[in-house]
Structure 1
Amino acid sequence: MSMIAKRQVEIILESLDLKFKFTKSLNMRLSLILLQICIAYAVRFDAKPNDVQEHEGQIAILKCYLGEFNKQNNVVSWWKEDEQISLNDMVKAADQRISVNLEKLPYTGAYSYSLQITDLKLKDKGSYHCQIDGFPKIISGTARLGVMQIPSSEYPKCSKSANSYIVGRDVKLSCISELISPPVNLRWSRKDTFILPTNIQSEILDDLVYNHYTFIAKKTDNDANFVCEQTTDAISEIINCTIQNLNIQYRPEVKIQHTSALVAGSDSILFCQSFANPPVMIFRWTSTPVLNDNEYIADGQVLTLIKPSIARNGTRITCSAENKVGISTDTTTLHIIKEQRRENNIHGNDNDIENSLETKENNMEITRKNNQGVSLYVVIIIIVLVVIIVVVVVIIPVYYHCFCKTRAATDLTGREIYQPTVYYNTRDRSSNSGLYDRSLPHLPNTRHYVHWRHSFASQVPEDLDQQGYMYIDEKNGQNTL
């Protein structure tokens, strides 16, 4: 074999050896990849972490649940979107409010991996997930952390663009609250009726929300109350602020009034009635043609016409009322009539006179009858009173003196004998059965009772120190004292 052929054989053998080594190395690598894939697919997340919604300043806890997890071979971590927060039990974020806990559950290969954030802030809201490092990476489902902000207790605030407004000009009321999440809802109302949003303008300025209600002032808006209602999904409580007694100013409304007809020769009063905000400062009275100074007295809202004459009939009287907003006037025309009594006396006809006389006679007759009826009633009342007086003053004392008064007894010398007020009634008693009348007193100086007795007793005068009794007993026809 030539040298060339030998060299060719050596080259072929070397190439075959290299191919064999390459194939062996490739198989080993493929085996490792397949082993990693098997291990990766053996570790899993058993459940997607739940979404959490908490108020600002509270604590939020997110949890992942792992199956077939081995702390020696596997590494798990928490992520907020693309930012890694932790690695197993170690926190990588530079935030002391964050802590993690990898806790074994009472099942083989089962673990819970929790992320806790205290003193929640608005910046903490977002999407969070767990991740198991390896090839390929295993990612859990995404949990949404929502942070709900509560408006400060000083909101909402109500304000107005001015302290007072003039009729016809714009009124601007503002309701202010914080720019928070979830956003607040502000609504204006008047007399428990909500104002349409078409009349409301909203704007955001310096982290505050403004809700402006603009309208044209009318007189009916004076002293009106407006309420701004604040609501938010973070709390169920409704909080209000109020603008009270809106001050709408307008020029006076004037009306001249008088209480009765204007009669010639009699003083009459005209009154200038006004409604204004602010109140009227100046009242002025003018007349056309001009009245003389001695024909009237002007005192503020009151104009007194002094005995106006028929010649002043048709005179135009004007009242002007002025406040800070403007001047208003009202004019009335005088209609003066003659005195009614004089007119009737002058122009009355004969029929009127006859009717008047007849009416007077009828009235006199009715008055006479009424007087008679009144006199009869008066007489009856007087008689009754006299009878009552006689009975009380005369009859009752006489009856008492004659029948009720105790008569005094006297002896032969005329001395009054005192009469006792208590008497012992006489008693008759007969007893064959040996029963005695024990209601009677004992015999003098004895303790015995008798079988039969007719007795009486009298009491000596009450002014004696001791009481004594006198007995007269009658037994078998004999009297015993």
Structure 2
Amino acid sequence: MYTLGFRTTIGTWIFFYILMLHRTYSFSRFIKEPLDENQAEGDLTYFNCIVRELDETQYVSWLHNGRKISKNGVIIINTYSHYSIDYDSTFGKCNLKIQNIKRSDQGEFVCTVYDSNDWIVDKSRTANFTVLEIPQQQYPICSSTKTSYRVGQRVVLQCISEKTTPLALLKWVNNIGGSESGLKESLSGNYEKTYSFTAKQSDNREIFTCELTTSANPSLYRNCSIGPLDVLYAPVVRIEQTRDVILGNEAIFICYSDANPQETTFEWSFDPPISENIFVLENDIILRIKNTINRLNGTSVICTVTNSIGSGSSKLIINVKSKESTNNVVETNNAKETKKFEKPNERNKNKSKNQNSNSNQPLLQTRTPNNNNNSSNYISISLVVIIALVCIIVILGLAMIPVGYMRYTRRQPSDTISRGRPVSIPDVYFEPRDHIYPMLPQLGLAAPWMRTVGVQVPGECEYDATYNTQVMPQSRQVYYTQRMYPASSL
């Protein structure tokens, strides 16, 4: 019994030793093993595996996170349909290709050799695959803590992105003096970057944009916007007058307002107060003073506008001008204009008057610089006109040269004499001639119409006998007989 147990123990050790030798021998058959990879979502990647000296009972498979996903060159799990294998048993090639990479593809990949009993004979090194995550299509998302803000309140805008590896980069484009926070994790598990500032009236209707980029795909660019921002403020008021306030004339004042929300009331007041009979309001915006009196000079006109946020007002002081001062200003302006647009005849008359008034004074035979300027202007204008006329004459003369040459060289018939000079004839010409015979009174028929054509051709051309046919004269009776007129009718 003891001998039998000892032999069994020795046999077991020999078996394990042979198995270890077999595994050691198999490990040397991996010619190429997969390497670590990292790739962005949506791209593709490869894992290489080349094995030599496989037995007929052995085959190669790929493991993903310890799960067998293929056998030789076939993917055996439907969820890995975007996987494919470049398999060649002759060279022992079994390369894995992953298209349209997903986040679930991240993990460990191992090239494994199995025997016929699905026992693992040997494994390659473990290749770690890192998927560079890209935020989903709906990101970034822009949001605001409130729907509207009052002037002076703190505005906080949020730009949210999905939590990915690596983290996406967020940046607010608008820079109006606000502060931008760093990336921080939100309560929902995403990452966000905020932008905050104090609301001003100029921020109303503004649009703010946030940009998203990622190192996983440098070409990727997305953005989101929030706005127009609703900033509430009290009315901003100003008063304008259409023209100067003149004593005895009508004066018009207009009250302009800018408010959010829209203004609700307009109210006019005066300091010191004036009678209601003096002014008229139109649509609460226009103030008309029908007859301006001197007592209104220095009076303050105040327009107050109110909305749901508050009130705003503007003040204007009336400055009444008399008609005399305005007439003097108008006459002065008119005198300047009449002097500016004075006619030459009037100037000559004024000059003659001045000469007559100064006839007793000695006359100086000198020319003023202005006269020199005028004469030089006249000379320059006449010189320009002369030069222009000379240029026109030269151009017309040059244009007539080719016309005269063409008329001189135009070919004319050579068998005629024009003014004692022979004129050339063309090689070929056509001369149509029409003949109408007189009407026959006894028949009452219209005379026939005939056309004969004479043709001149060069002498070296071939002679056509048809153009030399002699037409013998015939009587009128024969002519009409040939045209089926009865002889009795002639």
TM-score (norm 2): 0.53
Give the structure with the higher percent strand: 1
Closer/same/farther in 2, CA of residues 195 and 343 from structure 1, 3 Å limit: closer
What displacement does 1:175 show?
Answer: 4.3
Q: What is the match of residue 255 of structure 1?
A: 238
1:70 aligns with 2:70: no
Pairing partner for 1:122 from 103, 120, 133: 103
Pairing partner for 2:206 from 187, 208, 224: 224
For the pair shown, the structure with the greater C-alpha radius of gyration is 1
Within 5 A, what are the aligned runs for 1:312-327? 312-327=296-311
What displacement does 1:252 show?
Answer: 1.5
Q: What is the match of residue 224 of structure 2?
A: 241
Pairing partner for 1:48 from 29, 33, 39: 33
Q: What is the match of residue 251 of structure 2?
A: 268
Closer/same/farther in 2, CA of residues 169 and 113 from structure 1, 3 Å limit: same
Supply the AA of the counterpart residue of 1:294.
N
What displacement does 1:301 show?
Answer: 3.0
Q: Distance in 2 between matches of 1:335 and 1:309?
A: 11
Q: Distance in 1 between matches of 2:172 and 2:17?
A: 68
Supply the AA of the counterpart residue of 2:50.
Y
Q: Distance in 2 between matches of 1:306 and 1:242?
A: 53
Contact in 1 for aligned 2:32/2:48 (Cα 8 Å):
no
Pairing partner for 2:277 from 266, 291, 294: 294
Q: What is the match of residue 170 of structure 2?
A: 186
* Secondary structure at the counterpart of residue 293 of structure 1: coil
Contact in 1 for aligned 2:302/2:313 (Cα 8 Å):
yes
Closer/same/farther in 2, CA of residues 371 and 91 from structure 1, 3 Å limit: closer
Q: Distance in 2 between matches of 1:118 and 1:335?
A: 83
What displacement does 1:328 show?
Answer: 0.5
Q: Distance in 2 between matches of 1:218 and 1:90?
A: 66
* Secondary structure at the counterpart of residue 277 of structure 2: helix
TM-score (norm 1): 0.54
* Secondary structure at the counterpart of residue 234 of structure 2: strand
Q: Distance in 2 between matches of 1:250 and 1:166?
A: 6
* Secondary structure at the counterpart of residue 297 of structure 1: strand
Closer/same/farther in 2, CA of residues 194 and 26 from structure 1, 3 Å limit: farther
Closer/same/farther in 2, CA of residues 156 and 53 from structure 1, 3 Å limit: same
What displacement does 1:126 show?
Answer: 0.8
1:328 aligns with 2:309: no
* Secondary structure at the counterpart of residue 304 of structure 1: strand
What displacement does 1:327 show?
Answer: 1.2
Within 5 A, what are the aligned runs for 1:357-396? 370=346, 372=348
Q: What is the match of residue 145 of structure 1?
A: 129
Q: Distance in 2 between matches of 1:26 and 1:118?
A: 52
> What is the root-mean-square deviation of aligned Cα atoms in Å?
5.1
Q: Deviations over 1:398-436 (max 9, x none)?
A: xxxxxxxxxxxxxxxxxxxxxxxxxxxxxxxxxxxxxxx
Q: Deviations over 1:142-184 (max 9, x none)?
A: 2233445665555545455666543233445444555566554
Contact in 2 for aligned 1:201/1:213 (Cα 8 Å):
no
What displacement does 1:374 show?
Answer: 10
Structure 1: runs of 5 or more not aligned? 1-13, 345-355, 377-436, 441-481
Pairing partner for 1:79 from 41, 57, 63: 63
Q: What is the match of residue 89 of structure 2?
A: 104
Closer/same/farther in 2, CA of residues 287 and 112 from structure 1, 3 Å limit: same
* Secondary structure at the counterpart of residue 228 of structure 1: strand
What displacement does 1:49 show?
Answer: 0.2
What displacement does 1:254 show?
Answer: 1.7
1:277 aligns with 2:260: yes
Contact in 1 for aligned 2:179/2:196 (Cα 8 Å):
no
Contact in 2 for aligned 1:262/1:268 (Cα 8 Å):
yes
Q: Deviations over 1:348-407 (max 9, x none)?
A: xxxxxxxx9xx9xxx9xx99972546999xxxxxxxxxxxxxxxxxxxxxxxxxxxxxxx
Contact in 2 for aligned 1:267/1:308 (Cα 8 Å):
yes
Q: Distance in 1 between matches of 2:247 and 2:305?
A: 28
Q: Distance in 2 between matches of 1:234 and 1:301?
A: 59
Q: Distance in 2 between matches of 1:439 and 1:92?
A: 111
Closer/same/farther in 2, CA of residues 298 and 201 from structure 1, 3 Å limit: farther
Supply the AA of the counterpart residue of 1:218.
K
Q: Distance in 1 between matches of 2:302 and 2:319?
A: 15
Q: Distance in 1 between matches of 2:163 and 2:89?
A: 43
Q: Distance in 2 between matches of 1:282 and 1:372?
A: 65
Closer/same/farther in 2, CA of residues 201 and 181 from structure 1, 3 Å limit: closer
Supply the AA of the counterpart residue of 2:55.
N
* Secondary structure at the counterpart of residue 19 of structure 2: helix
Q: Distance in 1 between matches of 2:163 and 2:347?
A: 92
Q: What is the match of residue 186 of structure 2?
A: 203
Q: What is the match of residue 39 of structure 1?
A: 22
Q: Distance in 2 between matches of 1:54 and 1:261?
A: 77
What displacement does 1:188 show?
Answer: 2.3
Supply the AA of the counterpart residue of 1:285.
W
What displacement does 1:215 show?
Answer: 3.5
Which stretch shifts more, 287-296 or 127-136? 127-136
Within 5 A, what are the aligned runs for 1:298-309? 298-299=281-282, 300-309=284-293
Q: Distance in 2 between matches of 1:261 and 1:31?
A: 123
Which stretch shifts more, 26-35 or 297-306? 26-35
Structure 2: runs of 5 or more not aligned? 353-414, 419-490
